[in-house]
Protein backbone atom coordinates (compact mmCIF):
# COMPACT_ATOMS: atom_id res chain seq x y z
CA UNK A 1 0.00 0.00 0.00
CA UNK A 2 1.31 3.46 -0.91
CA UNK A 3 0.95 6.26 1.64
CA UNK A 4 1.59 9.98 1.41
CA UNK A 5 1.87 12.06 4.56
CA UNK A 6 0.70 15.67 4.86
CA UNK A 7 0.47 18.07 7.76
CA UNK A 8 -0.99 21.44 8.66
CA UNK A 9 0.44 24.21 10.81
CA UNK A 10 0.65 27.95 11.19
CA UNK A 11 2.79 29.41 8.42
CA UNK A 12 5.33 30.79 10.91
CA UNK A 13 5.99 27.38 12.54
CA UNK A 14 9.65 26.51 11.93
CA UNK A 15 11.01 23.10 10.90
CA UNK A 16 7.66 21.43 10.19
CA UNK A 17 8.93 20.34 6.79
CA UNK A 18 11.92 18.71 8.50
CA UNK A 19 9.63 17.09 11.09
CA UNK A 20 7.49 15.57 8.35
CA UNK A 21 10.60 14.35 6.53
CA UNK A 22 11.94 12.83 9.75
CA UNK A 23 8.74 10.83 10.18
CA UNK A 24 9.09 9.35 6.72
CA UNK A 25 12.82 8.76 7.20
CA UNK A 26 12.09 7.03 10.53
CA UNK A 27 9.72 4.74 8.65
CA UNK A 28 12.53 3.55 6.40
CA UNK A 29 15.39 3.60 8.91
CA UNK A 30 13.63 2.06 11.92
CA UNK A 31 10.76 0.29 10.15
CA UNK A 32 8.30 2.57 11.94
CA UNK A 33 4.77 1.92 10.79
CA UNK A 34 3.04 4.97 9.34
CA UNK A 35 -0.63 4.06 9.22
CA UNK A 36 -3.93 5.34 10.54
CA UNK A 37 -3.52 5.74 14.31
CA UNK A 38 0.16 4.85 14.44
CA UNK A 39 2.48 6.82 16.70
CA UNK A 40 6.03 8.13 16.52
CA UNK A 41 7.09 9.07 20.05
CA UNK A 42 9.37 11.97 20.99
CA UNK A 43 10.06 13.03 17.39
CA UNK A 44 9.06 16.67 17.92
CA UNK A 45 11.66 17.08 20.69
CA UNK A 46 14.56 17.06 18.23
CA UNK A 47 13.28 20.29 16.67
CA UNK A 48 12.34 22.19 19.85
CA UNK A 49 9.29 23.69 18.16
CA UNK A 50 6.64 22.97 20.80
CA UNK A 51 6.26 23.56 24.50
CA UNK A 52 3.27 21.21 24.80
CA UNK A 53 3.47 18.51 22.10
CA UNK A 54 6.19 15.85 21.73
CA UNK A 55 4.82 13.04 19.59
CA UNK A 56 2.92 12.56 16.34
CA UNK A 57 0.09 10.32 15.21
CA UNK A 58 -1.54 9.90 11.83
CA UNK A 59 -5.21 10.34 10.91
CA UNK A 60 -7.31 10.67 7.78
CA UNK A 61 -6.75 14.07 6.12
CA UNK A 62 -10.01 15.57 7.42
CA UNK A 63 -8.95 19.05 6.30
CA UNK A 64 -8.79 17.80 2.70
CA UNK A 65 -11.26 14.90 2.31
CA UNK A 66 -10.46 14.58 -1.40
CA UNK A 67 -6.93 13.46 -0.43
CA UNK A 68 -8.16 10.48 1.59
CA UNK A 69 -7.63 8.11 -1.33
CA UNK A 70 -6.36 9.18 -4.72
CA UNK A 71 -5.45 7.31 -7.86
CA UNK A 72 -2.39 8.26 -9.87
CA UNK A 73 -1.50 6.37 -13.03
CA UNK A 74 -3.58 3.39 -11.92
CA UNK A 75 -2.07 3.21 -8.42
CA UNK A 76 -4.11 3.90 -5.29
CA UNK A 77 -2.41 6.22 -2.80
CA UNK A 78 -3.75 6.83 0.70
CA UNK A 79 -2.97 10.11 2.42
CA UNK A 80 -2.54 10.54 6.15
CA UNK A 81 -2.42 13.73 8.17
CA UNK A 82 0.39 13.99 10.72
CA UNK A 83 -0.98 15.41 13.98
CA UNK A 84 1.29 16.47 16.86
CA UNK A 85 0.12 15.18 20.25
CA UNK A 86 0.98 15.64 23.92
CA UNK A 87 2.18 13.11 26.48
CA UNK A 88 -1.36 12.75 27.86
CA UNK A 89 -2.82 12.31 24.37
CA UNK A 90 -0.16 9.68 23.59
CA UNK A 91 -1.11 7.71 26.70
CA UNK A 92 -4.80 8.07 25.84
CA UNK A 93 -4.13 6.87 22.27
CA UNK A 94 -2.22 3.84 23.53
CA UNK A 95 -5.02 2.92 25.97
CA UNK A 96 -8.12 3.81 23.96
CA UNK A 97 -7.16 3.88 20.29
CA UNK A 98 -7.17 6.51 17.59
CA UNK A 99 -10.95 6.70 17.16
CA UNK A 100 -11.38 7.66 20.82
CA UNK A 101 -8.60 10.26 20.60
CA UNK A 102 -10.09 11.75 17.44
CA UNK A 103 -13.45 12.00 19.23
CA UNK A 104 -11.74 13.99 22.01
CA UNK A 105 -10.13 16.25 19.42
CA UNK A 106 -13.48 16.77 17.73
CA UNK A 107 -15.29 17.53 21.01
CA UNK A 108 -12.56 19.99 22.05
CA UNK A 109 -12.34 21.49 18.55
CA UNK A 110 -8.53 21.56 18.75
CA UNK A 111 -6.61 24.09 16.70
CA UNK A 112 -4.57 21.74 14.54
CA UNK A 113 -2.52 24.69 13.26
CA UNK A 114 -1.20 25.53 16.77
CA UNK A 115 1.98 23.58 17.56
CA UNK A 116 1.70 24.83 21.16
CA UNK A 117 -1.97 24.00 21.71
CA UNK A 118 -3.12 22.75 25.06
CA UNK A 119 -3.55 19.03 25.52
CA UNK A 120 -7.10 17.66 25.57
CA UNK A 121 -5.96 15.06 28.12
CA UNK A 122 -4.57 16.08 31.52
Strands 75-85 and 2-7: parallel
Does residue 68 belong to any structural domain of this protein? yes
Strands 39-40 and 75-85: unpaired
Does residue 100 belong to any structural domain of this protein? yes
Does residue 69 belong to any structural domain of this protein? yes
Structural domains in the chain (count): 1
The pLDDT tens digits along the chain (122 residues) read 789 999 999 999 999 999 999 999 988 888 888 999 999 999 999 999 999 999 999 999 998 988 889 999 999 999 999 999 999 999 999 999 999 999 999 999 999 999 999 999 98
Does residue 122 belong to any structural domain of this protein? no
| Torsion sign, CA atoms 41, 3, 68, 36 | negative
Does residue 91 belong to any structural domain of this protein? yes
Does residue 79 belong to any structural domain of this protein? yes
**E strands in 1-122:** 2-7, 39-40, 55-59, 69-72, 75-85
Does residue 118 belong to any structural domain of this protein? no
Amino acid sequence: MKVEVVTACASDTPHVDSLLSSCVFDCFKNRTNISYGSLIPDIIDQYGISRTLRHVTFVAPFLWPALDKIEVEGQVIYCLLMVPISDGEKAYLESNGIDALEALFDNAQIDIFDINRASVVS
